[in-house]
Amino acid sequence: MYEGLSEIGPHFELSETHKMVRQSIREFAETEIAPHVKEWDQSHVFHRPILKKMAEQGILGLSIPVKYGGGGLDYIALAIACEELERVDTSFRVILSVHNGLCTATIWQWGDMEQKKKYLPMLATGEKMSTYGLTEASAGSDPAALKSKCRLEGDEWIINGEKMWISYTVSSDIFLIFAYEENVRHKGMRAFIVERDFGGITTDNIDHKMGVKAGETGWIHLDNTPVPKENLLGLPEEGFKVAMSALDWGRYTVGAGAVGGAKAALEASVKYANERETFGKKIGQHQFIQGMIADSVADIEASELLVWKCGWVKNQGKINTRETALSKWYATNAAVRCADRAIQIHGAYGFCDDYPVARIYRNVRGATIYEGSNEIQKIIQARYELGYYEDKPLRCMPPAYDPEEWAKEDTDKF
């Protein structure tokens, strides 16, 4: 009956390219970041030279076609890179999430030809850094509550407003900014590619965060910032769609990173359980400890499979809101569980910074909030299942992975 089938079922083995990506990113993270991350975390300092090193390694444009200056790799490779960076510290995975995911990929998906020619090469190569400005002090899970305003004056849009909880504001040159056109609410959200040099932009960091201390989180103030008409991203009425599809990129990378955070917690737990002794034997020989280790193994395996499934859907060029939300929701919750178990396994030492597990917990806890709280991700799952949500084709669909096309270097054929 099945003799005509050449293959059956999905594949779970990483390709040789994926294995090479994992090895190269791991070596980079362990060489360039790991020896210093405790110092950077405790001093609340972002080591900006790391951006240049990430650019030189091709990390910042990993899953952007070669003709745009990227690495031409697929979305599974992007997930692996996020996992390996967060395995060392979340702060450096966030760079990939906001720069490659939320910004560069969104411009690639929604930008017109001139926007792609102008911005993608400088972003994919790391010549310029970018970040995503949607959230405001009173508008997080409810983007309709944005107070930022814009108006068209001649050949320029004028933007006023303030964005909060934005990653790498101080280090970024390009901002993807969302604002409502004055006196327009229905389909009034507009999306803009904003350069720092346009003027009227002030940025700074937010101090005293619970986690992600080795990275930047800050605010953006826009005071009559002029933006050329040609820097409107998408059609005027598509601003909300641009914002939401950008979150599909961001949530995917957050979920992938959470797998790395969970693995770091498990690795620390296993190491400590094989060193620490109580009642005359290694604590790893106690069944309560074994139970926590086993629970973390299951959480990690399930999370990674959900992320890879989402990457497979993205590779097909399909709308992936449901899959992305599910992988982000499950993997970030799982990472918190793994980090919490790691603290418990370490006992009192888990409650201080002598071991990495306290930092891991602080970092992964934030991922259940940003890129859409996990409560929002649960609502998305329920509404799809109940039939309240359904995917409809977008004018600009997510780019499907095409290994031959993405490897071409002919920049005359954008």
The CATH fold of domain 16-129: Butyryl-Coa Dehydrogenase, subunit A; domain 1 (1.10.540)
Structure tokens at 86: 């967060």
- pLDDT of 1: 38
Helices (runs of H) and strands (runs of E) counted in the chain: 13, 9
Separation of alpha carbons 178 and 327, rounded Å:
26
C-alpha span between 74 and 359 (Å, rounded) = 31
CA distance 206 to 209: 7
Residue in the structure block whose two tokens are 């770091």: 264
403's tokens? 């290994």
pLDDT of residue 8: 56
Residue-by-residue DSSP string for 243-271: HHHHHHHHHHHHHHHHHHHHHHHHHHHHH
Residues of the chain with CATH 1.20.140.10: 241-405
Residue of 181, 219, 227 lying closest to 200 (CA atoms): 227
* 8 A C-beta contact, residue 68 and residue 111: no
Where helices occur in 44-200 by DSSP H, the ranges are 49-56, 75-88, 90-95, 106-110, 113-124
CATH of domain 241-405: 1.20.140.10
The predicted pLDDT at position 6 comes to 53
Is the C-alpha dihedral spanning 28, 32, 35, 36 positive or negative? negative
CB 211 within 8 A of CB 362: yes
DSSP H helices in 218-373: 239-273, 287-315, 321-346, 357-366
Asked if 62 and 74 count as a contact pair (C-beta separation under 8 A), the reply is no
> For helices 287-315 and 321-346, what crossing angle results, to 10°?
160
- pLDDT tens for the chain, 414 residues: list them: 345 445 556 677 899 999 999 999 999 999 999 999 999 999 999 999 999 999 999 999 999 999 999 999 999 999 999 999 999 999 999 999 999 999 999 999 999 999 999 999 999 999 999 999 999 999 999 998 999 999 999 999 999 999 999 999 999 999 999 999 999 978 999 999 999 999 999 999 998 999 999 999 999 999 999 999 999 999 999 999 999 999 999 999 999 999 999 999 999 999 999 999 999 999 999 999 999 999 999 999 999 999 999 999 999 999 999 999 999 999 999 999 999 999 999 999 999 999 999 999 999 999 999 999 999 999 999 999 999 999 999 999 999 999 999 999 876 655
Please state whether the predicted TM-score (pTM) of the whole model is above 0.85.
yes
Angle at 373 between CA 143 and CA 225, to 5 degrees: 35
Please list the residue range(s) of the chain that carry CATH number 2.40.110.10.
131-239
What gap in Å lies between CA 406 and CA 62, rounded to an integer? 11
Contact 51, 171 (CB under 8 A): yes
Please report, to the nearest 10 degrees, the dihedral formed by the alpha carbons of residues 191, 195, 201, 202 taken in order: 110
Cα 307 from chain centroid (whole Å): 12
Task: Round to the nearest angstrom and report the end-to-end CA distance of the chain.
Answer: 46
* Inter-residue contact 265 to 356 (CB < 8 Å): no
Q: Where do the CATH 1.10.540.10 domains begin and end in the chain? A: 16-129
What confidence score (pLDDT) does residue 410 get? 74
Residue 79 exposure: Cα atoms within 13 Å on the Cβ side: 28
Contacts of 3 (CB under 8 A, 6+ apart): none
> Domain 131-239 class?
mainly beta
H or E, element range at 181 = strand 174-181
Q: How far is it, in rounded angstroms, from Cα 372 to Cα 141? A: 6
| Catalytic residue positions, numbered | 371
Q: Are strands 217-228 and 156-167 parallel, antiparallel or unpaired?
A: antiparallel
Element housing 193 (H / E) = strand 189-195
Picking from 303, 285, 370, the residue whose alpha carbon sits closest to that of residue 339 is 303
Q: Which residues contact 311 (CB under 8 A, 6 or more apart)?
A: 74, 75, 76, 78, 79, 252, 256
Q: In one letter, which amino acid is 119? A: Y
